[in-house]
């Protein structure tokens, strides 16, 4: 007889719904766990060993995967688009979703996707952040050059974001304003 328990996890920002079943489909436990490392670790250690789990891939599934992997016999990540295509239903809530993921895992029908290593996920996170900073820097450069073009000042685009050159341009803008004020009073 197969003593492995199957665990389906429906992941959300603040809570994780779970359903634990035996190989024959008997429900062992259902409930919710706070989506924190401490609570999830404590919950996973309380499960009967061995257990196999599955969760849907989300933007923050990586840390959940890392926390649960050492405690489980096997942990799989479900492809969200394919999972939606398989598990469309009128009755939909967190408990039902966790049970459906558990059933798909138990029957061997779970549409899996590969979970990248923790190192790869960390590198991707750094690259996403770098990309954000570069986009914001380019946006600011474009705004600054637009403001300079509005005032009619010429500028060297290669030097525009150097501190000394920018201070020099500000000086030209200030002197240009003073000249225009003097001309208005004449």
Are 10 and 87 contacting, i.e. CB atoms less than 8 angstroms apart? no
Query: 106-127: per-residue pLDDT in tens?
Result: 999 999 989 999 999 999 999 9
Are 99 and 8 contacting, i.e. CB atoms less than 8 angstroms apart? yes
Binning pLDDT at 50, 70 and 90, where does residue 101 land? Answer: very high
CATH pick for 5-115 out of 3.30.420.10, 3.40.50.300, 3.40.50.2020, 1.20.120.80: 3.30.420.10
Evaluate if residue 168 carries a pLDDT over 70: yes
Question: Cα(106)–Cα(8) distance, rounded to whole angstroms?
Answer: 9
Domain edges within the chain? 5-115, 119-185
Question: Cα(89)–Cα(65) distance, rounded to whole angstroms?
Answer: 26
Are 90 and 68 contacting, i.e. CB atoms less than 8 angstroms apart? no
């Amino acid at each position: 007889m197969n003593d492995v328990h199957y665990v389906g996890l429906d992941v959300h920002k603040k809570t994780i719904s779970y359903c634990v079943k035996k190989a024959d489909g008997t429900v062992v436990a259902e409930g919710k766990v706070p989506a924190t490392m401490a609570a999830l670790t404590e919950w996973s250690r309380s499960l009967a060993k061995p257990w196999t789990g599955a969760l849907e891939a989300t933007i923050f599934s990586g840390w959940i995967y890392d926390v649960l992997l050492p405690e489980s016999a096997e942990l799989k990540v479900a492809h969200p688009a394919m999972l939606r295509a398989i598990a469309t239903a009128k009755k939909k809530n967190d408990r039902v979703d966790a049970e459906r993921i558990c059933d798909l895992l138990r029957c061997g029908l779970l549409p899996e996707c590969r979970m990248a290593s923790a190192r790869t996920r960390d590198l991707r996170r750094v690259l996403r952040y770098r990309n954000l900073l570069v986009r914001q820097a380019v946006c600011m450069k474009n705004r600054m050059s637009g403001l300079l073009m509005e005032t009619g000042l010429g500028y060297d685009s290669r030097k525009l974001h150097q501190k000394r050159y920018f201070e020099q341009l500000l000086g030209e803008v200030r002197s240009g304003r003073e000249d225009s004020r003097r001309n208005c009073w004449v």
